Structure 1
């Protein structure tokens, strides 16, 4: 069952699209249906012909081309690792770039070969926070480790959501309805473009005509969830760069009313969730996915994970056995939800230890990327549809790269992160793949990594944060080695190189923290993950500040990280309201504690001007 209004007498607004217009329609700049002859030429009695441009690639191909280059590089790296057991390999890049590093198959544990078939995280993967806390360095700060409680224990103790006896939906003017649905389009349906424009119009009709209660339960559930997420999108909007400002009374009242409205629609959706679980349809999959996103907004990771898992299971079944009665575009919708679950599942696996995997990542190599087969219009503006698809592809590609980083460096029993004879070559290669990812981003998503004060759009800012996360994770083995063994030559790797690459990790962590602001994507979906990620980054800075002064003296802004995070998260908490999440509270406690410890270290170990100059000269020499 799809989100359609078969009983409505209003004509369908689904738009016909074609990749190529005929010569006449192109010259007249009118829409062409792509037929031979097309309707326009038939009506005007013109000869309908398709010139040389008809053989060029369509828009969807152009959208995919850039991001797929990175996928080809990752696949080439994987193939080389699997098929060259005795010799070093060199991966040829389709893009002009510096020479790639030489990686031998010995750099990868032989038992890991099967895992490289797909970009997944091991179900036994240890969360990033717990992994950093296990460093022997934190023996010196026992309170951080002793006071840490697993996310499962914290979240299992939370009470369930209260249910309302009656759901009375407020009156919405046409302007209010447009505002909520437009917010959904700018937010959720841009980050995860899974609701077609035709379906959105049907939601508008259901709500404006007061038909939510009288329609099919699954269709009505999906419509309520769209409204709930539209309201939350308005709640989290306008937060970029607002850390130093005080919200106006009008803004506070508006966001409070939208939070209350979102709760009403979500409450109504939960009351029909039993029908969603029992139905096998695209609308049911959409409803489960939107429910997962709303629980993520509520900062309830266990419930969000549960619905991600349910969405993935139903999605896998429908992709394997597509219903013959559903429109063909529903297959594209399911593929998009598949990839959205892939991103979210991987994000959750990175922060929740030993989660059971859904199996969706095991077949990611066999599922086409979004937009590669079936046209799927999500926005009224064609450019917006294309930008949403490309942004989604960029996020997918980054998540796949992050998963491969974890496989090669941090996989249990096979990761190379602790073996300095293996990880330098792997780090070099992964860094090259990361730079390839950044290079192929379209102009609309380009970002600078050197100027954090540069104004960025939300999309650029979010992608830069993902880039900095990946960069810090890639270079973390050098910093961990330096903390454990001190600055010295090891296994043919010179001390200067270890210091230089450890500093890259430090710079990425610091920039990642200082570059954080109120990105709507992060606040709505990733708040609890972001807080834990920032707590991890702060612990890395704490360890480095007290042990390796050679690379910390050049970052005078390290001490600004704690105050910046306090301002950012205080603003987020004001907007998101209560109840607060115990896992978020724990992450904030770690941030506050590490900030105080860093300040104490700063007072005791303030560098002299001469020491700073010497450190600067040393780093300059290593970079040459």
Structure 2
């Protein structure tokens, strides 16, 4: 060991530090060297005339990194302090909500530097619906326990395998009907996740009309677009919130059948996308994930989101010099779409392996110019909506991580979480205030200006309830011990409950919710009912609930029971379990209030 140290010293004495070289004195090659230690100067080895060996260069990098990490760790171990005020320039920018200012890093006692700049959702966080069901406040509610059949992952992994037709013919569509399907795809799927360019859409139209589908990825992509377009048209009918007649029901069944036929044909070619690493392959994998989300098969949807995200990350890490700008923009948009969806699934299945895209999200440019829609105004609104969803997902990830991370979330620390909650709520309100006019909404039960505004309001209310949940858990722990709840804690608890209940009351047949988010929505609404039930159990907190709290359960059950049968490929057992939890919690809530 001593011989190795002497050998390294002999090697490095020929590479004196900058300070010793300038003074023309002997340098012992250490970091810091004896001379710099005595004088208090920075000891740097960056300007030698003689080039260093690779091992010396690596050592330099390691030493500098260690110093940097020590400094950052010292800063992050400080006690929570108020964050700096938001830069006034932000409010003047109409695009500021694209990437709202993040929470000050001093809020985190111990964390990695990357996790500060990147909005990462920690594994095994404690804010899932299953975590809420494990609260001790439900031990006396036997129906909840009896009807709980197992974890979400257990239920979904044991359901019957996805079956597709072994043989099937391509559905015939004329020019008018084809335009209708592609328009429905553009106005729905490509509005929420604007990843398909108009050029690609034209290519799809030509391929379908000419029936020139081969064993290639272009054909796979065309079939997936058609499958999602037909599904979108079916969802459009369901989201009208009117009682459908016989003719309308027959149309829905036809769209359902056609979407399944197109997807079966596409799925036979998906091995091509799995084997290749191109922009088109990534797009095929992503659209497959969206269709599995429509089928309410979360494990399969997550699997294809992961596959698309990994290849997307790889292609963005090694961009081809001759790559067309539109291909790069397409990849970035798929990256952000995967970031949103992967985070959504991780929010409820906290143990899912992560792809790592959240680790680099701060280094990926936000969506830029990309021709996705025939109408310029719709294209602009789509981009703005997409950016609003990205910024909300980033904020949600920070909320989950700062408050509910497994090892260092502060939700249970009564000395730390109030200032974190205040800052997160401030960021949430800035996001809401800076939304473009088409997507602005009020924090009440008034109908939103558009379905997109209504969907964003749901995201906002979800975020608000999760931010203020630490006050509720604190209040519940106080009442369980027979202690008094302070006015500040009561108000925080009330804010959480109001957001929860408004979130449930404002659930309506938004196309995006029905087509992509039914599984996630069912779990989220089950957590709302569980939280309401836990609150109603405590007499001193019951006044936090709205007067119509007992009406929420039937309202949720009406929609979710209808939506779970939309795919026509079997019912998701975890969605079914969520509906049972909602019904049981609603009945127990009614018994308590009565």
Give the TM-score of the pair, scaled to structure 2.
Answer: 0.82
User: 1:401-450, CA deviations, whole angstroms, 9 ceiling, x for partnerless residues?
Assistant: 00000111100121111111111111011000000000110000000112
Q: Deviations 1:17-51 (Å, cap 9, x if unpaired)?
A: xxxxxxxxxxxxxxxxxxxxxxxxxxxxxxxxxxx
Q: Which blocks of at least 5 consecutive residues in structure 2 are unaligned? A: 1-71, 92-102
Q: Give 1:219's aligned residue.
A: 218
Question: Is the 8 Å Cα contact of residues 255 and 575 (structure 1) preserved in structure 2?
Answer: no
Counterpart in the other structure of 2:155: 154
Classify 1:241/1:263 alpha carbon distance in 2 versus 1 (closer, same or farther; 3 Å). closer
Deviation at 1:138, TM superposition (A): 1.3
- Following the alignment from structure 1 to structure 2, what is the Cα–Cα distance between the partners of residues 338 and 181? 23
Q: Could you list the runs of 5+ residues in structure 1 that have no partner in the other structure?
A: 1-78, 604-624
Q: How many residues align?
A: 511
Partners of 1:236 and 1:87 lie apart in 2 by 47
SS of the residue 1:456 aligns to: coil
C-alpha separation between the residues in 1 aligned to 2:416 and 2:104? 9
Q: Is structure 2 residue 171 aligned with structure 1 residue 186?
A: no
Query: Any conservation in 2 of the 1:430–1:474 contact (CA below 8 Å)?
Result: yes
Residue 313 of structure 1, CA deviation? 0.8
Q: Decide whether the 8 Å contact of 2:439 with 2:449 is kept in 1.
A: no
Q: Which residue of 2 aligns with 1:470?
A: 463
Q: Write out aligned runs for 1:77-96 (5 A).
A: 85=78, 88-95=81-88
Q: Deviations for 1:482-531, whole angstroms, at most 9, x for unmatched residues?
A: 111129999xx981111111000000010000100111111111111100
Q: What are the within-5 Å matches in structure 2 for residues 331-480 of structure 1? A: 331-371=328-368, 375-450=369-444, 452-480=445-473
Q: Cα gap change, 1:455/1:409 in structure 2, threshold over 3 Å: closer, same or farther? A: closer
Distance 1:106 1:136, change over 3 A: farther
2:53 match: none
Determine the structure 2 residue equivalent to 1:165. Answer: 166
State the alpha-carbon separation in 1 of the partners of residues 332 and 298 from structure 2. 23
Kindly tell me: are residues 241 and 424 of structure 1, through their superposed partners in 2, closer, same or farther at Cα, counting changes over 3 Å? Answer: farther
8 Å Cα contact 1:87/1:104 also seen in 2? no
CA distance in 1, matches of 2:325, 2:182: 25
Matches of 1:488 and 1:573, distance apart in 2 = 41
Question: Would the aligned equivalents of 1:188 and 1:229 in 2 still touch at CA under 8 Å?
Answer: yes
Alignment partners' CA distance in 1, 2:497 and 2:529: 10
Residues 535-568 of structure 1 show CA distances to partners (whole Å, capped at 9, x for unaligned) of 0110000001111444536611111101101211
Structure 1 residues 202-601: aligned runs within 5 Å: 202-212=203-213, 214=214, 217-240=216-239, 242=241, 245-324=242-321, 326-371=323-368, 375-450=369-444, 452-486=445-479, 495-552=486-543, 555-601=546-592
- Given that 2:493 and 2:544 are in contact with CA atoms closer than 8 Å, whether structure 1 keeps it comes out as no
Q: Which residue of 2 aligns with 1:18?
A: none
SS in structure 2 at match of 1:237:
helix
Quick check: 303-312 or 316-325, which moved more? 316-325
Q: In the aligned structure 1, how far is the partner of 2:273 from the partner of 2:545? A: 56
Alignment partner, residue 611 of structure 1: none
Tell me by how many angstroms 1:228 deviates: 0.3
The whole-number CA distance in structure 2 between the counterparts of 1:396 and 1:97 is: 17
Deviations 1:452-497 (Å, cap 9, x if unpaired)?
Answer: 132431100000000000000000000111111129999xx98111
Contact 2:190 2:196 in 1 (8 A): yes
- Corresponding residue number in structure 2 for 1:130: 130
Question: Would you say the 8 A contact 1:133–1:145 is kept in 2?
Answer: no
Aligned match of 2:118: 118
Paired position in structure 2 for 1:618 = none
Describe the SS at the equivalent of 2:537.
helix
Give the SS at the match of 1:149.
coil
What is the CA distance between 1:80 and its match in structure 2?
A: 13
Partner deviation per Cα, 1:283-332 (whole Å, 9 max, x = no partner): 10000000000001101011011101100111011111123454221000
Q: Cα–Cα, structure 1 residues 505 and 553, in superposed 2: closer, same or farther, change >3 Å?
A: closer
Offset, 1:108? 2.8
Paired with 2:546 and 2:591, the residues of 1 have a C-alpha distance of 17
Extract structure 1 runs of 4+ deviating beyond 4 A: 79-84, 95-98, 103-107, 487-490, 548-551
Render the CA deviation track for 1:381-417: whole Å, top value 9, x for unaligned: 1111111111000000000000000111100121111
Write the distance in 1 (CA, Å) between the matches of 2:152 and 2:191.
29
Contact kept, 8 Å, 2:227 with 2:263, in 1: the verdict is yes
The answer to whether the Cα contact below 8 Å between 1:85 and 1:104 also exists between their aligned partners in 2 is no
C-alpha contact (below 8 Å) 1:112/1:414 kept by paired residues: no
Q: 1:283–1:96: structure 2 CA closer, same or farther, 3 Å change rule?
A: closer
Measured in 2, the distance between the counterparts of 1:190 and 1:414 equals 37
Distance 2:191 2:201 in 1: 13
Question: CA, structure 1 residues 81+93, in 2 after alignment: closer, same or farther (shift >3 Å)?
Answer: farther
1:129 touches 1:535 (CA, 8 Å); kept in 2?
A: yes
For residue 123 of structure 1, report the CA deviation from its aligned partner. Answer: 2.4
